[in-house]
Amino acid sequence: MTVKEIFETMDYGPAPESAAPALEWLVDMGDRFGCFIDGKFTDPGETFEAKNPATGNVLAHVTQAGQADVDAAVTAARKAQAKWAKDGHKRARTLYAIARLLQKHARLFAVLETLDNGKPIRESRDIDIPLAARHFYYHAGMAELMDEELPDQVPLGVCGQIVPWNFPLLMLAWKIAPALAMGNTVVLKPAEYTSLTALLFADICRQAGLPRGVVNIVTGDGAVGEMITAADVDKIAFTGSSAVGRRIRAATAGSGKALTLELGGKSPYIVFEDADIDSAVEGLVDAIWFNQGEVCCAGSRLLVQEGIAPRFYDKLRARMDTLRLGDPLDKAIDVGAVVDPVQLQAITKMVDGAQGDIHRTPGPLPAQGCYYPPTLITGLSPADRLMQEEIFGPVLVSTTFRTPAEAVELANNTRYGLAASLWTENINLALDIAPGLTAGVVWVNATNLFDAAAGFGGVRESGFGREGGWEGLMAYTRPRGTAKKLSPIAPYTTDDGDPIPPLDRTAKLYIGGKQARPDAGYSRPVYTRTGKLLGHASLANRKDLRNAVEAMTAAKAWSATTGHLRAQILYYMAENLSARADEFASRINALTGGRSGEAEVTQAIRTLFKWAAWADKHDHRAKPVPLRGTALAMNEPVGNIGVLCDDARPLMGLIEPVAPALAMGNRVAAVASGPYPLSATDFYQVLETSDLPGGVLNILTGDHADLVPHMAAHAGLDAVWSFSSSALSAEIERASAATLKRTWVNNGQTRTWPSATWLAQATEVKTVWIPYGE
Amino acid sequence: MNTTDTHVTRADAHLPQVHEPRNAGVAVDLSWVRAVQANTSAIERRAATLPGRRSVKKDHQAAWLCKAISLIDLTTLAGDDTEGRVRRLCAKARQPARADILDALGMQGLTTGAVCVYHEMVAPAVEALRGSGIPVAAVSTGFPAGLSPYRLRLAEIGESVAAGADEIDIVISRRHVLQGNWQALYDEMREMRAACGEAHVKAILATGELGTLRNVARASLVCMMAGADFIKTSTGKEGVNATLPVSLTMIRAIRDYETRTGFKVGYKPAGGISKAKDALTYLALIKDELGNRWLQPDLFRFGASSLLGDIERQLEHHLTGAYSVGWRHAVG
C-alpha cells in the first residue's frame, strides 16, 4: 500500500518487535538446555520441544528432568540453605542485583516470554517483566528487614516450587523472591510449555552472584512436579489448576511439608447501574482479554445490574469489535496466541455448544498458530455450566442481577474464591460490597492490579496462602521454637466404677446454643484415674457434626459483629469462668488425675483475656501500592472452623484454639479432649451465661478419629485444626483435598504457638484495591 | 487512487454538512446529564496504557503523520499577531511540509485542516487562504476567559462570521459548569450556536478549569445537546490543556451522544500536543474509541502550533533514515 492509500484507510499495519536478540540467546545457549542445579547448567538429557504457540516453530529443546536431577537439585539446595539463611543483608544485595539484572535485560525477557507463551509483547514488556523486577526489589527489602522485623520467624528450609505457564517469569518471581528473602533455598519447576524465561533467569542468577544451590531450576512435565512434591523438601508452593492442587494436597498429606496453593478461579466482575460504564467496559478488556484470558484471577463472570444490561452489552460488543488479535510480537496487538494447541482445544471444547447469545471479535484468525477469538456469552444463568467452570481462555460469560444483595449472592455462588471486581461510583456501596465478596482480592473500579506489597491468593477451591506483602512471608517462614512429640492419651477405664457423688449433671453436646442429645444416642462413661465414674460423654457422629456446621453457618452474623463486642463476650466468658474457677479446677484434676487444675483454669482465663484484647486490635493494613489509591489488607475471619482439641488439657485444649478463633470472628465446632471431655461440656454452661450467640461455638464430644473424615470432607467447614494426640494429621490433609479447605495439623507434635500464628490461622487476608481520584 | 481532486478542494470540504447532518442539538435532558459518570482513576489508567497499546511504523507512520497534518488547526493566538504573521501562517497551511517531502510520499496537495486566529486576523487569513479550500476558524466570545459582556460575546461571533470565518471557536462560561447550572450552559451554547449561523461552532470547555472529569463529561454532553458541531478541550491558555484522560472522557461523551441522537459531533484537543508521537497516540485513541469516520477534518482537529514542525522532521526522517532538524523546514 502506498502512503496515500494508507492515508485513506488509516490501517494500523504491522509493528513487530524483533525476535532476533532472544533467538540469538537461544542459539548462544546451544538451543538445548539442561537443568540449572547447584549453580551450573547440567548437560541436556532427554529433551522435549519448547514451541512458539503463535507459529508452531520449535524454539529450543528442554530437558525432561529425571529423579537424579531432582535429587541433585534438592541436595544442592539443602547444602546451600544454612549459609544462605545467615546474612539478611547479603541476601538483600543479591536480590537487589537480580532485580537490576531483570531490568537490564528487560526486553530480552519480554521477547523470550512472548515467543514462548504467546502473550502480546505489550503485556510481557509493560506488565510481566516490570512486576517481576518489582517483586525482587520489594523482597530485597524484606531480606534486609527480616532480622529486625521478624525476629521470631525462621526459614522453612528447602522449598519446592511449581509454577504455571500463564505468567512464567512473574510466577517464578512471586515464588522465588519471598522464599530467598526469608533465607530459604528453592527447587523450581517451570511449566513444560514455558521453561525458557526460567532458564534465562538461571543465567541471570549466575550474573547476580547468587551462591550455588540457592536457586535450582528443573524442567519437565508433571512427573517432575510429582518428584519435587515427594522429595525431601520442607515446603511446596504451587500455582496452577485446582485439579493438580488437589493431587499435591493429597500427596503431601501427613508429610509435615508446608503447603501453599494458588489455584483456579471464576472471578465475578460486578457492574452496578451507577458505574462509569465506559470504564467498566474497558476494564473487562484487562479482566478477561488480558493474556488471552489465561489468568487465574480473570474477571470471567460478568454480573450486570438489570437496568443497564442491554446498554452495557452493546458497548461491550462494540469494544470487542476493535480488539486486535494476532502476532504476539506485534506492538499493536491486544490478544495473542493461546499457549498450546492442547489448551486451545480445551477452550474450544468447553465453549462449543454453549447456550446463550455468543458474540465474538470479528475478523479472520491468523492462518497458523493457536488463536481463539475474544468471546462474550450473555443470557446465561448461574445453572449453566459455563457460569461455574473455569474456561481459562478469552471467554466471558454473563448474567444479570437486581439488587446489591443479589449481586453478592451470585458473586459468591461458586466453588472458587480468588478475586472479584466491582464497579460503582457510590463509595458506600463499594465499601459495603467488598467485604461481602468471597475472594482473596477485590478490585474496586479496577481489575487485575498487582503489586509486590499487596497480598494475592484465594479462598475456597482457589487455594490457600498469600503471595506478596508481609502476609506472603508467612508462607516461607515458621515461628522459632521446637516441637515435642505427642503420645496418644487413652481414657481411664475400669470394670466397676462407682459414681462420684454428687453427680446429677448430664453432659450433652452443645449445638446452636442448645444442649443436644447425640444423634446416635450413645455415650461413653468417663472415669477418674482411680476408676470412679465421673459421668458420661456423648458420642457425636457425623450428623451431630452436620448439625453443628449448620448452626455455625446460621451464626454468620458473628463474623460481622464488631471486635469490641467480641472482646466483651470473651471477657464475660473469662469472668464467668473465674467465678467457677474452683469447680473447673477440681473437675480438671478429677479428669486427669493430676493437680494442675487450678493452673489450667488460671491459664484459660488469661487466654480468654488475651484474645479479648486482640479481638479489636488485629489491625488491617493499608498497603503502599504504586497507584493513587490504597490496597487494604483486611483481616477477615476464615469462617467455619472445625477444631480437634488437645487431649492432654481438658479446659485449655478447648480455650486455646477457640478463643483466638472466636476473637477473629470465626464460628467453631470443637471436638473436646477425647480422654477428658467433661471440662468442655461444663464450659457450655459458661457460654450460656456469657451472651455468646448460639451456633458461634459448638462443642462436641466423641472419638476424634470417628469425626475426622467427616470434618475434613465437610464442604461447609472452611478450615480444620487438629491438636489431637491421635495420629490424624495425614488423614485430615488427605481428606481436605476435595474441598481444598485450609488445614492446620500438629503432625503428632505439640508446641506453643505465638499469637502471630494464631492470628494468621484464624484470618484470611483480603486485599481490597481502592484507586481514587476525582 | 485518483489524487487530482486533492489539489482543488471546495472551501466547505472540511465542513460537516458535506458528509453528515449537522448536529441540530436536542432538548436539554438534565437527568441524562446528571447520570453521566466519569471514574477518574480508571480513565487515567486507560489513558496511561494507550501509548503502549498501539504502535504505527514505517509507511503507516508516515501516512498517519500526513493524516495528522490534514487535521491540524494551525493556530496563532498571540497578542503580537500581525497581518504579515498570519499570512506566513496561511502559507504554511497551504504548504505544510516541504514539497520534495510531500512528493516523495505521494502526498502532494496536503494542507492543514484549518487556520485558527483571533477576530482581527480573520480577514487577512481569509484573503491569504482564498482558493485553497482551507477554512478559517476564529476564536470568539471573549476568548480566552469568556467574561466580557454577554451581548458583546454574541456580537463578536457575528462580526467574525461577517469577516469570513467558517468556524467559530467559542468559550463557555466555566462558572455555569462549576455551579452545576447546566440549563444556563445549555442556553448560552444554544444562543452562540444560533449566532454562528452557517459557520460551524466549536465549544471550548477549558477543561483545565472545570475541576473534575465528571464536569468535563457533563459539560461535553450539554454543549452537544445545545448544538455544538465540535467540542474542544482548551483555549491553550489554561494551566492544563489537552490530556489523554480529558480526551477519553470527551470522546466517550461524543460516542454516547451519537448513540442516542444519531448526530456525530467533532472533537478538537488543543494545547500541549507538540510531538508527532503524541499525535499518533491521539489518532489511535480516536480510531479505537470512535472509529475511522472520526479521522476526517469534519470530525477531528488538533489545535496546535508547534506540532507541525515535529511532524515535518519525522517525515523527513522517514524518507532519509537520518534525524532531521528544524531549520531544514520552513517556519509558519
| Backbone CA torsion sign across A55, A61, A67, A70 | negative
The alpha carbon of residue B73 and the mean position of all alpha carbons in its chain are separated, in whole angstroms, by 6
* Topology classification of domain A488-619+634-752: Aldehyde Dehydrogenase; Chain A, domain 1 (3.40.605)
Q: Which chain B residue lies closest to A3 (C-alpha atoms)?
A: B63
Burial group, residue A368, by CB count within 10 angstroms (0-12, 13-18, 19+): exposed
Q: Which chain B residue lies closest to A323 (C-alpha atoms)?
A: B288
Where would I find the beta strands (DSSP E) of A618-666? 621-623, 629-637, 640-644
Please report which helix (H) or strand (E) contains residue A7, including its range. Answer: helix A3-9
Which of B169, B229, B278, B310 is catalytic? The answer is B169
Clarify whether A296 is annotated catalytic: yes
Using CA atoms, how far residue A394 sits from A246, A284, A319, A354, A723, in Å, is 25, 11, 14, 15, 45
Contacts of A12 in chain B (CB under 8 A): 54, 56, 60, 284
Topology alike, domains A267-451 and A488-619+634-752: no
Q: Inter-chain contact A774–B60, Cβ cutoff 8 Å? A: no
Structural domains of chain B ordered from first start: 24-328 (3.20.20.70)
Question: Nearest CA to CA, how far is B131 from chain A (Å)?
Answer: 23
**Angle at the Cα of A603 from the Cα atoms of A599 and A606, rounded to 5 degrees:** 140
pTM: 0.96
CA dist A655 and B169 (Å) reads 76
What's the half-sphere exposure (Cβ side, CA atoms, 13 Å) at A410? 26
A10 vs B46, B67, B255: nearest CB = B67
The predicted pLDDT at position B332 comes to 86
* Topology classification of domain A267-451: Aldehyde Dehydrogenase; Chain A, domain 2 (3.40.309)
Clarify whether B58 is annotated catalytic: no
Top residue of B59, B60, B257 to mutate, by most chain A CBs within 10 Å, is B60
CA dist A456 and A439 (Å) reads 10
Q: Inter-chain contact B59–A2, Cβ cutoff 8 Å? A: yes
A425 vs B3, B39, B62: nearest CB = B39
pLDDT in tens, chain B (332 residues): 333 333 334 444 455 445 689 999 999 999 999 999 999 999 999 999 999 999 999 999 999 999 999 999 999 999 999 999 999 999 999 999 999 999 999 999 999 999 999 999 999 999 999 999 999 999 999 999 999 999 999 999 999 999 999 999 999 999 999 999 999 999 999 999 999 999 999 999 999 999 999 999 999 999 999 999 999 999 999 999 999 999 999 999 999 999 999 999 999 999 999 999 999 999 999 999 999 999 999 999 999 989 999 999 999 999 999 999 999 999 98
The predicted pLDDT at position A495 comes to 73
Decide: A497 and A169 in contact? Cβ < 8 Å: no
For chain A, which residues lie within 8 Å of any Cβ of chain B, measuring from their own Cβ?
A: 1-15, 122, 125-126, 274-280, 282-283, 314, 322, 331-332, 334, 423, 425, 445-446, 627-629, 771-774
Q: Inter-chain contact B42–A14, Cβ cutoff 8 Å? A: no
Which of A159, A296, A297, A370 is catalytic? The answer is A296
Q: Inter-chain contact B42–A445, Cβ cutoff 8 Å? A: yes
Which of A113, A144, A192, A262 is catalytic? The answer is A262
User: Quick one: DSSP state of residue A499?
Assistant: B
B39 vs A12, A279, A322: nearest CB = A279
Q: Compute how many other C-beta atoms are within 10 angstroms of the C-beta atom of residue A26.
A: 23
What's the half-sphere exposure (Cβ side, CA atoms, 13 Å) at A531? 5
Residues 6 or more apart whose CB falls under 8 angstroms from that of A228 comprise: A70, A74, A160, A162, A187, A189, A218, A236
The predicted pLDDT at position A506 comes to 77
Closest Cα partner for A404 from A511, A275, A515, A314? Answer: A275
The predicted pLDDT at position B2 comes to 39
Decide: A689 and A625 in contact? Cβ < 8 Å: no
Domain boundaries, chain A: 20-263+473-479, 267-451, 488-619+634-752
Count of residues in chain B: 332
Q: Inter-chain contact A7–B55, Cβ cutoff 8 Å? A: no
CA dist A206 and A98 (Å) reads 9
Q: What is the mean pLDDT of each run of 10 residues along chain A (774 residues)?
A: 97 97 97 98 98 98 98 98 98 98 98 98 98 98 98 98 98 98 98 98 96 98 98 98 97 98 97 98 98 97 98 98 98 98 97 94 96 97 95 98 98 98 98 97 98 98 97 97 94 80 77 97 93 93 98 97 98 98 97 97 98 98 96 98 98 98 98 97 96 98 97 98 97 97 97 97 98 95
Contacts of A15 in chain B (CB under 8 A): 55-57, 60
User: Into which CATH architecture does domain A20-263+473-479 fall?
Assistant: 3-Layer(aba) Sandwich (3.40)
Q: Inter-chain contact A278–B252, Cβ cutoff 8 Å? A: yes
The predicted pLDDT at position B13 comes to 47
Q: What are phi and psi of A238, to 5 degrees?
A: -130, 135
Q: Compute how many other C-beta atoms are within 10 angstroms of the C-beta atom of residue A546.
A: 16
For residue A161, the SS3 value is strand
| Per-residue cell: A80 | 546451600
A3 vs B107, B213, B214: nearest CB = B107
The predicted pLDDT at position B5 comes to 39
Partners of residue A636 on adjacent β-strands: A764
Q: Inter-chain contact B66–A11, Cβ cutoff 8 Å? A: no
* Strand-pair category, A749-750 with A484-485: antiparallel
Question: Nearest CA to CA, how far is A415 from chain B (Å)?
Answer: 29
Decide: A675 and A490 in contact? Cβ < 8 Å: yes
A773 vs B41, B62, B106: nearest CB = B41
Please report which helix (H) or strand (E) contains residue B203, including its range. Answer: strand B200-204
A–B interface: beta-carbon pairs under 8 A: 112
For residue A533, the SS3 value is strand
ipTM for this model: 0.95
The predicted pLDDT at position A504 comes to 57
| Per-residue cell: A674 | 477425647
